[in-house]
Amino acid sequence: MHENDGPKNNSLSLTTELIDEPLQIFNDMNNRFEYDEEITEAVNKWLDEHRIEDKWLFEAVYARKDELKYAAFLGFLFSRGVGCKIDEKQAFKYYKLKADMDDPLSQNQIGSYYHNGFGVKQDYKKAFYWLEKSANNGYVTAHTWLGTGQFWLGICHYRGIGTAKSIDESFSWFMKAAAQGESRAMDWLGYLYQCGGDDDGCDLKINKKYAAYWYGKAAKLGNRSAQSNFGTCYELGIGLNRDIHEALRWLQRASLHGNEFTRDPVVRILSRYRTLYY
């Protein structure tokens, strides 16, 4: 909070009408699939504007913990440490209350908590259960956000986490997530098309043109893994015509974005085709 003159509000002065303002910010930003960091920043901005200490907001919301409409918001405050110490067990508890009422955001959070062992014992079967419920309720994000229901269902099916391994099911969920702009799912679609299915009864066949297509879509959205894969497609002629200039461009872009695995290919290309660049 900013320090300045004049009295500040405290938890006793926070009316339900006032508390519902940051609650609405939380709900609206979640409906737009904003990052938790962005929601935290928006809530803190509201606190500053209203000259309210974060601990007073937390205490006021906690005093209403038996009102279901505040459950997910209280879970968020615990998970982000807004006005309190971070407490993943308490965050899980309050997200779970809302998840049981078929709230897809909270179901996604509970699935992520089970998957990562945050505030609860790690349990992949329960993670799969809650992520599936969240995904079936339509929860996906326009951002690359760990815990995205449909993307993580694809991972669960691919790796056999909490369910039988199925490349076909994995592919289906990745397609759904990709349709919502999930770049990680696009990158995985590229991989699956490049390699094909490796389990019995899988219908997915290798299609290198589709592999390059999906790598390219994800790469253009800034996915550094896909940028590396797309560059490799250009370097080796996987699904498109070889183009060393394009290969170098995408591999360098991936390297600049922090993909350490692209550094050797960049050196290799520059060494092999140095007459093109020097």
With cut-offs at 50, 70 and 90, classify the pLDDT of residue 30.
confident
Residue 45: phi and psi, rounded to 5, are -65, -40
Determine which of 43-47, 145-149, 230-234, 239-243 has the lowest per-residue pLDDT on average. Answer: 145-149
Tokens representing residue 153 in the block: 């269902």
Q: Nearest-CA neighbor of 25 among 37, 45, 42, 49?
A: 42
CB-CB contact of 77 with 70 (8 Å):
no
Tokens 């797309």, residue located: 230
pLDDT band at 262 (very low <50, low <70, confident <90, very high): low
Rounded to 5 degrees, φ, ψ at 9 are: -70, 155
Tokens encoding 235? 């370097």
Q: Which amino acid is at 207?
A: N
The Cα–Cα gap between 152 and 133 comes to 12
Q: Which among 195, 128, 208 is positioned nearest to 167, based on CA atoms?
A: 195
Average pLDDT estimate for 16-27: 95
Fold of 207-278: 1.25.40
Residues 16 and 13: their CA atoms lie apart, in Å, by 10
Answer yes or no: is pLDDT of 269 > 60. Answer: yes
Question: Could you give the percent of the chain with pLDDT greater than 90?
Answer: 57
List alpha helices for the chain, DSSP H.
16-31, 36-49, 54-62, 71-80, 88-99, 104-116, 124-136, 149-159, 167-179, 183-195, 208-220, 224-236, 244-256, 263-272, 274-277
Burial class (CB in 10 A: 0-12, 13-18, 19+), 184: buried
How distant, in Å, are the alpha carbons of 78, 79, 98, 119, 217 from that of 95?
10, 10, 5, 11, 34
